[in-house]
Amino acid sequence: MRAWIVGAAALASAVLAGVSASAAEPEPSDWEAVLAEAKGQSVYFNAWGGSQNINDYIQWVAGEVKDRFGVTLTHVKLDDTANAVAAVVAEKTAGKDADGSVDLVWINGENFVSMQEKGLLAEGFATQLPNWRYVDTANPSVTVDSTVPTKGQESPWGGAKMVFFTDTARSGPVADMPKDTDALLEWAKANPGQFSYPAPPDFIGSSFLKQVLIEQADDPSVLAKPVDEATFAAVTAPLWAWLDALRPALWRGGRDYPQNYPAMKQLLADGELGIIFAFNPAEASAAIAAGELPDTVRSFTFPGGTLGNTHFVAIPYNSGSKAAAMVVANFLLSPEAQLRKEDPQYWGDPTVLAMDKLPEEDRKAFANLDRGVATLAPTELGPVLAEPHASWMTRIEAEWKKRYGS
């Protein structure tokens, strides 16, 4: 009897120890312990896979974290971040609260807000990462995403700002290009079939709708608050009126839409579109360097401002490789990784680091970057229009599909 009791007690102790160990979360404040735990772990990084230069950059990151930290990084290529969110939702519903399929996700906006609200994210870690000391914390969008505080549950990865591109060999100088969405509508009517946008919920297409909504809304300040169903129709009426007026002038008469930004880029290269847009100021230069667009393509923005934000990486609550995911997130914030990412020959994505926080050698390296012939200087990008509250896009995407989707 005594032997059974002793055995049962030992078993219970072992079980409790196992529970305690599995429940223990890595503490980024003890970075050496994080590095030790991360060694040998695998990270399944769910990130958009629709751009070869971004895919190549992530592969470079994978090689670096393997060599330096013993972390195996696998890029799970997504066509929509919502798919990663849905996977974590399904796992939580099924009670899979450990060793989930997603260890790190490239995210922002409504996808982040949805995961945070549903309790699908690991506890705040970003502000304790060693490389956080370099982050441009004067930029509020590194700690607030779509008006929602990130609480350290997202680590900033890059900046974004909407820019427009045109082939000046066909369209004329950028000085003659539209200066706001009203002028863009008139341009599209005067050049039928030469403009379009990706169908939501594609990120670039949805971002374009945000730009139009901010410009056309009678009172844009209401967009900083969650959607009020009682006023949704009235607030968004100018958006639908603008899109209704645009539709007959769209590429293919609005019967079809480009699948995504790469599809728009190809249509510009083929001469089917006269104006396209992206969320990266260096995108045109990178495409020229890659031979995807002619060297006569140039960028322009709206003097009154275009949409801007920060994109992030986040760790799901049920990742079994949280330490390794933190190591990857920290490496993504390193001056070395950020410099390579901002270089148009690799990606051209704007950094989230503050130049005055960097060592002098790194500051010089950023200053000496050749951003490319079609990239506007930071002083030429114009004001940043803040993202609306994430709930607006959830509703607008659904309403767009009802009105214009096939």
Of the pLDDT bands very low, low, confident and very high (cuts 50, 70, 90), residue 20 is very low
Residue 2 in any domain: the answer is: no
Residue 61 in any domain: the answer is: yes
Q: Which residue has the higher pLDDT, 20 or 105?
A: 105
Q: Is the peptide bond before 388 cis (omega within 30 degrees of 0)?
A: no
Residue 17 in any domain: the answer is: no
- 392 shares a domain with 252: yes
Q: What's the number of CA atoms in the CB half-sphere (13 Å) around residue 370?
A: 7
pLDDT in tens, 67-97: 999 999 999 999 999 999 999 999 999 999 9
Looking at the chain, the whole-number percentage of residues with pLDDT higher than 70 is 94
- 399 shares a domain with 369: no
Cite the DSSP H helix spans in 125-231: 168-171, 181-190, 203-216
Give the pLDDT of residue 93: 97
Helix (H) or strand (E) holding 20: helix 2-23
- 124 shares a domain with 168: no
- 177 shares a domain with 117: no
Q: How many domains does the chain have?
A: 2
Of the pLDDT bands very low, low, confident and very high (cuts 50, 70, 90), residue 314 is very high
- 281 shares a domain with 209: yes
Amino acid type, 98: A
Q: What is the pTM of this model?
A: 0.76
- 304 shares a domain with 315: no
- 242 shares a domain with 334: no
Q: What is the domain range of residue 51?
A: 29-159+310-376
Give the pLDDT of residue 147: 87
Residue 153 in any domain: the answer is: yes
Spatial distance between the Cα atoms of 341 and 347, rounded to a whole number of angstroms: 5
Beta carbons within 8 Å of 381's beta carbon, 6+ residues apart? 161, 163, 281, 301, 306
Here the CATH number for the domain that contains residue 259 is 3.40.190.10
Q: What is the largest CA-CA distance in the chain?
A: 93
Residue 11 in any domain: the answer is: no
Residue 322 in any domain: the answer is: yes
- 170 shares a domain with 269: yes
Of the pLDDT bands very low, low, confident and very high (cuts 50, 70, 90), residue 23 is very low
Spatial distance between the Cα atoms of 353 and 346, rounded to a whole number of angstroms: 18
Give the pLDDT of residue 21: 35
- 363 shares a domain with 291: no
pLDDT in tens, 139-169: 888 999 988 999 999 999 999 899 999 999 9
pLDDT over threshold 50, residue 8: no
Residue 33 in any domain: the answer is: yes
Mapping DSSP to helix (H, G, I), strand (E, B) and coil, where does residue 288 land? Answer: helix
- 343 shares a domain with 209: no
Q: Render 237-284 in DSSP notation, one character per residue.
A: HHHHHHHHHHGGGBGGGGTS--SSHHHHHHHHHTTS-SEEEES-TTHH
- 142 shares a domain with 48: yes
- 137 shares a domain with 261: no
Mapping DSSP to helix (H, G, I), strand (E, B) and coil, where does residue 361 land? Answer: helix
Residue 8 in any domain: the answer is: no
